[in-house]
A and B are shown apart, each in its own frame.
Chain A
Amino acid sequence: MQTSLTDAALWHRIHFGFTVTYHYLFPQLTMGLAWFLVYWKWRALRTGDEKYNRAARFWARIFGLNFAVGVVTGIPMEFQFGTNWAGFSKYSGAVIGQTLAMEGMFAFFLESAFIGAFIWGERRLGPRGHFIAAVGVATGSWLSGLFILVTNAFMQHPIGYAVAADGTLALSNVGAFLLNPWALVQFAHNQCAALVTGAFVITAMGAFYTLRGLHSEQARVYLNTGTLVGLVASLLVAFPTGDSQAKMVGRYQPVTLASMEGLFHGTRLADVTVIGQPDISQQRLENPVPLPGALSFLACGTFQSYVRGLDEFSQNDWPDNIELIYYAFHIMITLGTIFILIMAWANWKRWRGRLESSTGLLWILMLAFPFPYIANSLGWMTAELGRQPWLVYGLFRTDSGYSQVVSAGDTIFTLIGFVGLYFVLGLLFLYLTGREIHKGPDAPYPVAKRQEVAV
Chain B
Amino acid sequence: MITLWYGILAFMLTTYVVLDGRNFGAGILHWLVARNPIERRQVIAAIGPLWSWHEVWLVGTGGVMLMAFPRLMSASFSGCYLALFLILWCVLLRGISIEVGRHLSDRLWQDFWDAVFVFSNVLLAVLFGAALGNIARGVPLTSQGSFYLPFFTNFGVRGNVGLLDWYTVPMALFCVLILTAHGAIYLTMKTEGAVHERSVRLARGLWLAAIPAFVLITLLTWLVRPQLLHGMAVRPVSWLTLIISAVSIYALVTGLRHQRERLALLGSSFLLFGLLMTGAVALFPVMLFSTTDNSLQLTAAECAAPAFSLAIAIAWWIPALILAFAYLCVIQRHYAGKVNVSKDNQELY
Partner among B63, B95, B323 whose Cβ is within 8 Å of the Cβ of A97:
B63
A395 and B67 alpha carbons, distance in the complex (Å): 19
Query: Which of A79, A92, A102, A170 is the one whose CB lies under 8 Å from B62?
Result: A79
**Chain A, interface size: which category?**
35 or more
- B126-134, B222-230, B259-267, B310-318: which lies at the A interface? B310-318
Binds B, one of A30-38, A70-78, A217-225, A272-280: A70-78
Residue A421 at the B interface, CB < 8 A? yes
Bound state CA distance, A92 and B306, in angstroms?
Answer: 11
Pairwise interchain contact A448-B342, C-beta atoms closer than 8 A: yes
**Which of the candidate stretches B52-60, B155-163, B283-291 sits at the interface with the other chain?**
B52-60
What is the CA–CA distance of A125 and B331 in the complex, to the nearest angstrom?
Answer: 9
CA distance in complex: A439, B103 (Å): 12
**A446:B345 contact, CB within 8 angstroms:** yes
- Asked if A321 CB lies within 8 Å of chain B CBs, one says no
The answer for the CA separation of A145 and B128 in the assembled complex, in Å, is 30
Distance, CA A112 to CA B55, complexed state (A): 9
Whether B320 sits at the interface, judged by CB under 8 Å, is: yes
Which residues of chain A in 27-85 are interfacial with respect to chain B, using CB atoms and an 8 Å cutoff?
A: 61, 64-65, 68, 71-73, 75-76, 78-79, 81-84
B50-77, CB < 8 A from A: 50-53, 55-56, 58-60, 62-71, 73-77
Chain A residues near B66 (CB-CB < 8 A): 78, 81-82, 89, 93, 96-97, 100-101
A82 CA to B75 CA in the complex, in Å? 8
A93-B55 contact in complex given A104-B63, A113-B330, A421-B92, C-beta closer than 8 Å: no
Out of A87, A98, A174, A448, name the residue touching B67 (CB < 8 Å): A98
List B contacts of A406 (CB < 8 A): 78, 81, 148
Q: Measured between alpha carbons, how far is A142 from B28 in the docked complex, in Å?
A: 35
The residue on B at minimum CB distance from A81 is B66
Interface centre among A100, A105, A120, A453 (most CB of B within 10 A): A105
Least CB distance, B109 to chain A, in whole angstroms:
11
Min distance, Cβ B82 to any Cβ of chain A, angstroms: 7
With an 8 A cutoff between CB atoms, is A129 at the interface?
yes
Contact between B309 and A98, CB atoms less than 8 A apart: yes
Interface size on B (CB < 8 Å)? 75
Q: Using a CB-CB cutoff of 8 Å, which residues 17-34 of chain A contact chain B?
A: none
Residues of A within 8 A of B313 (CB): 98, 101
Asked if A405 contacts B146 (CB within 8 A), the reply is yes
Chain B contacts for A114, CB-based, 8 A: 327, 331
Once the chains bind, are A452 and B331 in contact (CB under 8 Å)?
no
Contact A105 B321 (CB under 8 A): yes
| Chain A window 105-128, contacts with chain B (Cβ cutoff 8 Å), 1 for yes, 0 for no | 110111011111100110111000
- Whether A428 and B100, one on each chain, are in contact in the complex, defined by CB atoms closer than 8 angstroms, is yes
The verdict on A102 contacting B63 (CB below 8 Å), with A71-B95, A109-B327, A421-B92 known, is yes
Minimum CB–CB distance for A191 against chain B, Å: 21
Establish whether residues B77 and A76, one from each chain, have CB atoms under 8 Å apart when the complex forms. Answer: no
B residues less than 8 Å from A115 (CB atoms): 52
Q: How far is the CB of B137 from chain A (nearest CB, A)?
A: 19
Tell me, yes or no, whether B348 is within 8 Å of chain A by CB: yes
Chain B residue nearest in CB terms to A100: B63
Closest Cβ–Cβ distance, residue A423 to chain B (whole Å): 13
B34 within 8 A of A: no
What B residues does A446 contact at CB under 8 A? 345, 347, 349
Residues of B within 8 A of A75 (CB): 55, 58-59, 88, 91-92, 95
Residues of A within 8 A of B100 (CB): 68, 428, 432
CB distance from B220 to the nearest CB of A (A): 28
* A455 is an interface residue with CB less than 8 A from chain B: yes
Residue contact A105 to B317, C-beta cutoff 8 Å? yes
Question: Please, how many angstroms separate the alpha-carbon atoms of A94 and B38 in the complex?
Answer: 49
Whole-angstrom distance between the Cβ of A425 and the nearest chain B Cβ: 7
Q: Report chain A residues within 8 Å CB of B312.
A: 98, 171, 174
**B324: min CB distance to chain A, Å:** 4
Q: How far is the CA of A444 from the CA of B349 in the complex (A)?
A: 9
Beta-carbon contact of A83 and B81 below 8 Å:
yes
Within 8 Å CB of B320, what residues of A?
Answer: 102, 105-106, 109
Residues of A427-450 at the interface with B, using a CB-CB cut-off of 8 Å, are 428, 432, 435-436, 439, 443-444, 446, 448-449
Known A-B contacts A76-B88, A117-B331; the reply to A109 vs B60 at CB < 8 A is yes
Give the docked Cα–Cα distance between A428 and B146 (Å): 39
Q: How far is the CA of A101 from the CA of B56 in the complex (A)?
A: 11
State in angstroms the CA–CA spacing of A446 and B342 once bound together. Answer: 10
Are the CB atoms of B70 and A94 closer together than 8 Å? yes
Q: Counting CB contacts under 8 A, is A172 at the interface? A: yes
Q: Which 6 A-B pairs have the closest CB atoms?
A: A93-B70, A82-B77, A116-B49, A97-B67, A101-B63, A448-B342
- Pairs A–B under 8 Å by Cβ, sample size 24: A71-B52, A71-B55, A82-B84, A86-B75, A89-B66, A94-B67, A97-B65, A97-B66, A97-B67, A98-B309, A100-B63, A101-B64, A101-B313, A104-B64, A106-B320, A113-B50, A113-B327, A168-B70, A404-B78, A405-B81, A414-B85, A435-B103, A446-B349, A448-B341
